[in-house]
Amino acid sequence: MLGVKHFRARDVRLRDSHWTRHEAPARLAWLAFLALAAFGAGTARADDAPPIAIVVHGGAGVINKAEMTSEREARYRTGLEAARDAGYAVLERGGTSLDAVTAAVRSLEGNPNFNAGRGAVLNHDGIAELDASIMDGNTLAAGAVAGVKHVKNPIELARLVMEKSPHVMLMGPGAEEFALEQGMPLVPNSYFRTEERVRQLERALKEEKEKALRTSGALESGHGSGSEGARVSEGARVAESGRVAEGARVVGANARASGAGETRSQGKASAARTAERLAAPDVGASTVEPTPIGTSGTVGAVALDRFGNLAAATSTGGLTAKRAGRIGDSPIIGAGTYADNKSCAVSSTGDGEFFIRAVVAHDVCALMAYKNISLEAAAREVIHEKIEGLKAAGGVIALDTSGHIVMDFNSDGMFRAARDSRGRKDFAIYHERR
């Protein structure tokens, strides 16, 4: 087994991604079983077969019910169910969990309603910056990309990083160079941009500007140091002169500087407030997130295949109006994505900074493996105690090798859908009524 892993890690170019060497015997055995079953008593009953399952999510967060029209809800539902079924189809025809999660996430990346791939949110400069990661629970092989701007399906590039490079994580232009070397065409950044995301960015920048103006007013009335107040109002004037994007950027920078000044000048008295500010749900540079699905419309999938192998994948555009170069939890192995056949597969979505600090995905796996608790209990502890304790919000989808499905969150809702060989096939947004 060690030899196989060694081979996979070091000489992946020789490997056929759809028929891995270590799977081949299992798959042959399975095909033989299917053939026998067909000759014999007809089709194998689902109960006898090892379970297969897939779970997908389309983000968790504050759900603005005023904006969540039934028409919009239907679009999310259609998109998630299509992704779920695309992944399930791969599993059903004997494909790997790795192929299933890739197919499901690719489907969501192609859907402009979700914050990944086409339709990703825009950063402060109006650019889509994409992150994705994938992990194989059988070998613990993993791949991730961050801050890519021209890769149509970041999840496919993450998979190539896993399978065709000796690395786990590549970012920025270096990741795109690798994409080109692998024969993957690049697309202009405008491919990702949708009218709705442009409007959302405009709203976020406007709110940021208004907030900065309020801050500058407060500073000028004597609550902060004079020089910082002056800098903020100067930034605000630039913003008012019509150069909205650039001006707002200056305001944003100074608003941050003024926050720091406040911490310095008021010392311990403001410690509590500073803690509160740091603990506030992350909404990038804006205070109010105008999207109907809150701050994180990240997408992800976890799957279990016939060979008993788990896989997880996550993809995102991050936060609306985020600072260029900000990376959340989605491409971080252990935070946004983790899979280990010994415990479970997890894809998370939520306030990314807090999910990184809590190493959410790996923590769910570790709790399950080390404390001998159920997947459900492990996910509950991480989301409702640890993440809740950090005053953050979000959720996870998770799956273990027995096919137990967990979808847990502490936000208003989480777009989610699941399907398995035991007949489960569902979609939900809000908390289930108990």
Partner 1 sequence: MYSIAIHGGAGGVPADLLSKDNGARYTDSLSKALDAGFAMLERGGSSLDAVTTAVRSLEDDPLFNAGHGAALTREGWAELDAAVMDGKDQRAGAVASVRHVKNPVDLARRVMEKSRHVLLVSAGAEEFALEEGIPLVANLYFRTDERRFQLASEQQGRSVSDLMPGGAAANRRLQAPMGWLGTVGAVACDQHGNLAAATSTGGMTNKRQGRVGDSPIIGAGTYAKNGVCALSATGHGEYFIRAVAAHHVACAVEYRNLTLEAAVRELIHSRIPALGGSGGVIACGARGEIVMDFNTEGMFRATRDSTGRRQIAIRRS
List contacts with partner 1 (CB under 8 A). 2, 5-6, 9-10, 135, 140-142, 146-147, 165-175, 177-178, 253, 256-257, 259-260, 275, 277-278, 280, 282, 323-328, 332-335, 338, 352-353, 356-359, 362-363, 366-367, 370-371, 390
Question: What's the sign of the alpha-carbon dihedral 44, 48, 54, 55?
Answer: positive
Q: In the complex with partner 1, which residue's Cβ is closer, 262 or 420? A: 262
The enclosing H or E element of 33 equals: helix 24-39
Q: Give CB contacts under 8 A, 24+ apart, made by 5-10.
A: 5/139, 8/139, 8/141, 9/141, 9/166, 10/166
Residue 410 CB neighbour total at 10 angstroms: 18
Q: In the complex with partner 1, which residue's Cβ is closer, 75 or 263? A: 263
| Shortest spacing between CB 229 and partner 1, in angstroms | 17
Cα–Cα distance for residue pair 305/364, rounded to 1 Å: 20
Q: In the complex with partner 1, which residue's Cβ is closer, 187 or 356? A: 356
- CA angle (394, 396, 397) in 5-degree steps: 145
Q: Are 303 and 311 in contact (CB under 8 A)?
A: yes
Q: In the complex with partner 1, which residue's Cβ is closer, 7 or 33? A: 7
* Residue 340: closest CA among 52, 57, 3, 97: 97
Q: Which two tokens stand for residue 340?
A: 């280990």
| Shortest spacing between CB 257 and partner 1, in angstroms | 7
Buried b (16+ CB within 10 A) or exposed e, 134-152: bbbbbbebbbbbbbbbbbb
> Catalytic residue among 295, 298, 349, 401, which?
295
| Shortest spacing between CB 260 and partner 1, in angstroms | 5
Task: Determine the distance from the C-alpha atom of residue 225 to the mean position of all C-alpha atoms in its chain, rounded to a whole number.
Answer: 40
Active site residue 337: no
Residue with tokens 């997408």: 299
Backbone angles phi, psi at 77, to 5 degrees: -60, -50
Q: In the complex with partner 1, which residue's Cβ is closer, 148 or 219? A: 148
* β 169-171/344-350 pair status: unpaired
| Shortest spacing between CB 372 and partner 1, in angstroms | 9
Q: In the complex with partner 1, which residue's Cβ is closer, 91 or 134? A: 134
Residue with tokens 């081949």: 24
Question: Facing residues of 408 across strands?
Answer: 396
Cα–Cα distance for residue pair 83/105, rounded to 1 Å: 7
171: amino acid identity, one letter? M
Q: In the complex with partner 1, which residue's Cβ is closer, 62 or 108? A: 62
Q: Are 116 and 109 in contact (CB under 8 A)?
A: yes
The enclosing H or E element of 396 equals: strand 394-400
| Shortest spacing between CB 124 and partner 1, in angstroms | 9
* Residue 390: closest CA among 362, 348, 354, 356: 354
| Shortest spacing between CB 289 and partner 1, in angstroms | 14
Q: In the complex with partner 1, which residue's Cβ is closer, 10 or 425? A: 10
- Which residues are designated catalytic? 295
